[in-house]
Amino acid sequence: MSRHPGLAAWHAYMAGGGDPQALRDLLAEDAVFHSPVVHTPQEGRDKVFAYLHAASHVLGGDDFRYLREIVDGDQAMLEFQSELDGIQINGVDIIRWNDEGKIEDFKVMVRPLKAINKVWEKMAAMLAAQAS
């Protein structure tokens, strides 16, 4: 299904249970993450890793699945769906890879508002747990 090697690696990470080293290996040193709830972009591998690792555990449970993907060269848009505490979540991951096949830009958009609020709640707790 996935033709871009970076996209195939991303799918393998999500299907593989969220191995931290596998995720770290996917990220460019200067990667940037755009959160649906944090106003400023999160810059650098360590910050991007923290957000994506938390998100893969918050959203990537048994209910998570990608519905469709649009790939154009070094970019992809992946629509996903999941459920948290009975709230249906629909969202989009927009990913761009660098020439080495590492993720350099990752943007997440989520709907509806009730879902954004639930994701914010769960992500805040996961990030706080990771920091301690």
Model pLDDT for residues 94-128, shown as the tens digit of each residue: 999 999 999 999 999 999 999 888 888 887 777 77
Nearest one of 69, 14, 24, 66 to 49, comparing CA atoms: 24
Check pLDDT > 60 for residue 1: no
What lies within 8 Å, CB to CB, of 97 at 6+ separation is 4, 6, 7, 74, 75, 103, 104
Please tell me the predicted confidence (pLDDT) of residue 117: 84
Give the mean model confidence (pLDDT) for residues 1-8: 75
Please tell me the predicted confidence (pLDDT) of residue 132: 67
pLDDT in tens, 63-98: 899 999 999 999 999 999 999 889 999 999 999 999
- 77 neighbors 7 (Cβ within 8 angstroms): no
Length of the chain in residues, anyone?
132
Give the largest Cα separation in the chain, rounded.
Answer: 40
For residues 20 and 25, what is the distance between their CA atoms, to the nearest angstrom? 9
18: left (phi over 0), alpha (psi -120 to 50) or beta: left
Q: Which CATH number fits domain 5-131: 3.10.450.50, 3.40.640.10, 3.40.50.1380, 3.40.50.10210?
A: 3.10.450.50
What lies within 8 Å, CB to CB, of 95 at 6+ separation is 6, 7, 10, 75, 76, 77, 78, 103, 105, 106, 107
pLDDT in tens, 7-59: 999 998 988 776 889 999 999 999 999 998 888 999 999 999 999 988 888 88
SS3 at position 62: coil
Provide the whole-model pTM.
0.89
